[in-house]
């Protein structure tokens, strides 16, 4: 029963969500709306699950005196402080409130800085790793240089054909390759979905049986 019930629920819900698309009857559409509301509620629990998992992981690191437990302290203190500010400050949602102040002045610049570091690493990697060793690598390198120039205004000044060449690369070879990949991924997703709905793939239940 512990296995059959989730499998039956999965089969019924999966089949219904696929079939409802083709049945505009009000009863079916009402059930669809209800399922969407349930789905939203269920997905909200993912935040709770994530938070509990995060706390457990860092708690164990601190308890086991792991070498890098200092970071766990920072994570937990940050988590508790932000949750505290969000819950207990009376105007936590208003711009200028404590929560908003910490978010705008700590979280935003820190994350933006981390992402910006990518420019430095890309430049360093371009110098050290981007080699025209083979014909394929050379083609990739030439295409990358054209697109890099075509995506900035200086490309127009260097040669007026660069932006057009960039658009052609993006619209023709790029789209052709991406479509092939997307069709493959789409077919894979459909096959996996079918396997889950029909109970062939059961890893989501936490076991292989």
Residues engaged in binding another protein (CB under 8 A): 21, 29, 32-33, 36-37, 39-40, 42-44, 46-47, 93, 95, 100, 103-104, 107-112, 114-116, 119-120, 122-124, 126-132, 141, 145, 148-149, 151-157, 163, 167, 170-171, 174-175, 178-179, 182
Q: In the structure encoding, which two tokens stand for residue 32, read together?
A: 């669809």
Closest C-alpha among 174, 165, 160, 129 to residue 145: 165
| Cβ closest to another protein, residue 87 vs residue 120 | 120
How far, in Å, are 110, 122, 141, 149, 151 from residue 154 at the CA level? 30, 20, 19, 7, 9
| Cβ closest to another protein, residue 36 vs residue 194 | 36
- For CA atoms 135, 140, 144, 146, the dihedral sign is positive
Provide the minimum distance between the beta carbon of 176 and another protein in the complex, in angstroms, as a whole number.
Answer: 9
Q: Are 138 and 132 in contact (CB under 8 A)?
A: yes
How far, in Å, are 10, 41, 72, 78, 130 from residue 114 at the CA level? 41, 33, 19, 18, 23
| Cβ closest to another protein, residue 64 vs residue 87 | 87
Provide the minimum distance between the beta carbon of 9 and another protein in the complex, in angstroms, as a whole number.
Answer: 17
Provide the minimum distance between the beta carbon of 23 and another protein in the complex, in angstroms, as a whole number.
Answer: 14
| Cβ closest to another protein, residue 62 vs residue 147 | 147
Distance (Å, whole) CA 72 – CA 62: 7
Provide the minimum distance between the beta carbon of 208 and another protein in the complex, in angstroms, as a whole number.
Answer: 27
Provide the minimum distance between the beta carbon of 40 and another protein in the complex, in angstroms, as a whole number.
Answer: 4
């Amino acid at each position: 029963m512990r296995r059959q019930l989730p499998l039956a629920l999965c089969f019924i819900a999966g089949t219904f969500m696929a079939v409802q698309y083709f049945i505009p009857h009000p009863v079916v559409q009402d059930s669809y709306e209800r399922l969407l509301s349930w789905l939203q509620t269920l997905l909200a629990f993912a935040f709770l699950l994530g938070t509990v998992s995060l706390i457990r992981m860092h708690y164990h690191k601190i308890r086991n005196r792991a070498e890098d437990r200092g970071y766990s302290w920072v994570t937990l203190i940050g988590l508790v402080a932000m949750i505290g500010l969000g819950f207990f400050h009376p105007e936590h949602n208003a711009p200028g409130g404590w929560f908003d102040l910490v978010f705008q002045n700590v979280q935003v610049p820190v994350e933006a800085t981390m992402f910006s570091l990518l420019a430095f690493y890309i430049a360093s990697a371009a110098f050290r790793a981007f080699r025209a060793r083979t014909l394929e690598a050379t083609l990739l390198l030439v295409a990358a240089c054209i697109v890099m120039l075509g995506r900035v205004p200086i490309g127009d000044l260097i040669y007026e054909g660069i932006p057009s060449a960039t658009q052609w690369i993006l619209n023709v070879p790029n789209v052709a390759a991406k479509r092939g990949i997307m069709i493959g991924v789409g077919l894979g997703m459909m096959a996996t979905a079918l396997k889950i709905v029909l109970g062939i793939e059961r890893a989501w239940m936490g076991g292989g049986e």
